[in-house]
């Protein structure tokens, strides 16, 4: 069981609002991330990240594959890829080509820099590390990748700033110092 955290002031206010809007709500129908097993932190920007990954992998959408990896990763952001059939199914692929379709999406995520993989006893697709999607999107944008629309990138940056992420903040550069003139 996850440790019980003290509710924030904002959390208490939100709970009070919810209770006033739905006074008869059976609270056992709600997902309680503080007491339920199977909870993982997800960036509030994940919906647009998934869509942007699908745009980047046009014709072979890989957003759900990335999200499945994210949901399996723990704090270390490591995922064992040994159960390829299960990973493929949970990513939304079925049929005889499910694992192959999943592997194709994994290759695209590696190529774009959203994940890194290493081989092992399960073959080429044995281990993965899931990288920060904000930093990957920023890198792709700065490299001029054509698959990232200005509209969606700006929406991602705006939402990231709303939630307090610093991944898109411009880092201040050190001021240039004048080189003293040579004296003769």
What is the phi/psi pair of residue 124, to 5°? -55, -35
Q: Token digits for 138? A: 């920023």
| Cβ atoms 70, 54 nearer than 8 A | no
Q: How many CA atoms lie within 13 A of 38 on its CB side?
A: 3
Q: What's the N-to-C CA distance of the chain in angstroms?
A: 75
pTM of the predicted structure, to 2 decimals: 0.82
Question: Could you list the pLDDT tens digit for every one of the 184 residues in the chain?
Answer: 445 567 788 889 999 999 999 999 998 888 877 777 877 889 999 999 999 999 999 999 999 999 999 999 988 999 999 999 999 999 999 999 999 999 999 999 999 999 999 999 999 999 999 999 999 999 999 999 999 999 999 999 999 999 999 999 877 666 666 556 666 5
Task: Give the number of other CB atoms < 10 A from CB of residue 163.
Answer: 9
**Does CATH number 1.10.10 belong to domain 46-161?**
yes
Burial class (CB in 10 A: 0-12, 13-18, 19+), 45: buried
pLDDT per residue as tens digits for the range 92-137: 999 999 999 999 999 999 999 999 999 999 999 999 999 999 999 9
Q: How many CB atoms lie within 10 A of CB 155?
A: 15
Q: Could you tell me the residue ranges of all domains in the chain? A: 46-161
Chain center to CA of 51: 11
């Amino acid at each position: 069981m996850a440790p019980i955290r003290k509710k924030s002031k904002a959390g208490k206010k939100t709970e009070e609002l919810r209770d006033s809007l739905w006074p008869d709500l059976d609270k056992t129908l709600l997902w309680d991330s503080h007491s339920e097993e199977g909870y993982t932190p997800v960036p509030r920007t994940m919906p647009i990240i998934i869509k942007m990954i699908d745009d980047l992998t046009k014709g072979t959408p890989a957003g759900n594959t990335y999200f499945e990896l994210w949901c399996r990763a723990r704090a270390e952001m490591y995922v064992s890829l040994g159960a390829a059939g299960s990973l493929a199914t949970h990513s939304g692929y079925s049929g005889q080509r499910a694992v192959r379709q999943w592997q194709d999406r994994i290759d695209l995520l590696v190529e774009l820099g959203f994940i890194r993989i290493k081989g092992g006893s399960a073959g080429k697709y044995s281990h993965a590390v899931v990288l920060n999607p904000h930093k990957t999107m920023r890198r792709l944008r700065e490299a001029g990748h054509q698959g990232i629309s200005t509209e969606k990138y700006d929406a991602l940056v705006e939402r990231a700033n709303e939630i307090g992420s610093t991944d898109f903040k411009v880092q201040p550069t050190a001021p240039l110092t004048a080189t003293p003139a040579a004296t003769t």
